[in-house]
Amino acid sequence: MTEKITDKTKALAAVKDAGWELANVSDELKADKEVVMAAVKNVGDALEYASDELKADKEVVMVAVKGSSFALEYASDELKADKEFVMAAIKVGSQLEYASDELKADKEVVMAAVNNDMYALEYASDELKADKEVVMAAVKFYDQTFEHASDELKADKEFVMAAIKVSGGYTLEYASDELKADKEVVMAAVKDSGNALELASDELKADKEVVIAAVTDYSEQGLNDGDNFMYASNELQADKEVVMAAIKASGTTFTYASNELQADKEVVMAAVKVNGNQLEHASDELKADKEVVMAAVKEYGCALEHASDELKADKEVVMAAVNNDMDALLENGSVMDALQYASDELKTDPEILGEVDVDYLKKRGIL
């Protein structure tokens, strides 16, 4: 058992260096304001070890909550119920979780909290979780806090539409199932965030207009990575019109196209012209199609990796790949190394080697 520090000078030195040392001082020094102030200035949560009297001292507790948003937990019940004090504590970062139940039901206090703390709504009273003004303020601050709103608000179409507008498409995650099946609501969500399609009802994941909005309107913000198309229904992933529209927005959507469309030359050509590396997902037959592979390697030299062995040994194809490689290297310093995917014979072809930086490729271990 650690021997308690009884000397004030030693105690001050200890808590100034590590506030948690307040746990190891005598009860008398835990009631010494100077010692406790030094401790909570170093570590706000050291308030846990202060005397009950100092846990009720506004000056001490305020210093503690400035140092730790959790320190209010250790304050006296009187301070947790003191509106003026709690309001001040919230403004410096303290959490509503530790306020009294009465203050968790006080709209002014809760409004201050939700504007300052992303988790505050969780601890508000049920009545305030159903208050539109409070919840809207909360979701403006942090969209995921909508999880803690009342079921009534999660099912309120007008409110959810407004919440999506101010906080983003992923607010849909906590909307009622009925609203996840409401086309107007879902359209608003996917236009803001295409990946919100994940949250829509199965019926709307099979709605052509909704899915195209998710993969095209969203891309206009420059945010579409193509992964949102994975949430479309199998039927739409096999719909050529939808897939072609999706590819125009982001070549990577081709990853989620049906096997049939991954064997469709027109679709594959569209995909590799936007993103050459999508050759990876083409059918084996099209990986052996010279026109397709040429289009792919001209867009991305290292797409050669996914070509058939026959085309990896095709000098024209490999030349196109290494030329794209060198252009990328010279323009933006990209490291591509397409030559590593060529046949062994072409890796030593003098004409091809004349197109590459041999010293660079040797350093990279390619040659």
Give the residue from 139, 188, 181 showing the smallest Cα distance to 161.
188
Ranges of the chain with pLDDT below 70: 1, 217-225, 326-336, 356-367
- For the chain, the three-class secondary structure string (H helix, E strand, C coil) is CCCCECCHHHHHHHHHHCHHHHHHECHHHHCCHHHHHHHHHHCHHHHHHCCHHHHCCHHHHHHHHHHCCCHHHHCCHHHHCCHHHHHHHHHCCCCHHHCCHHHHCCHHHHHHHHCCCCCHHHHCCHHHHCCHHHHHHHHHHCHHHHHHCCHHHHCCHHHHHHHHHHHCHHHHHHCCHHHHCCHHHHHHHHHHCHHHHHHCCHHHHCCHHHHHHHHHHHHHHCCCCCHHHHHCCHHHHCCHHHHHHHHHHCHHHHHHCCCCHHHCHHHHHHHHHHCHHHHHHCCHHHHCCHHHHHHHHHHCHHHHHHCCHHHHCCHHHHHHHHHHHHHHHHHHCCCCCHHHHCCHHHHCCHHHHCCCCHHHHHHCCCC
pLDDT attached to residue 332: 46
pLDDT attached to residue 252: 87
pLDDT attached to residue 329: 52
pLDDT attached to residue 353: 80
- For 156-204, the three-class secondary structure string (H helix, E strand, C coil) is CHHHHHHHHHHHCHHHHHHCCHHHHCCHHHHHHHHHHCHHHHHHCCHHH
pLDDT in tens, 323-346: 887 655 555 445 558 888 999 999
Domain residue limits, the chain: 155-254, 259-367
pLDDT attached to residue 53: 98
Sign of CA dihedral 239, 242, 245, 249: negative
Query: Structure tokens of 45?
Result: 């949560």
d(C-alpha 163, C-alpha 31), whole Å = 49
pTM exceeds 0.95: no
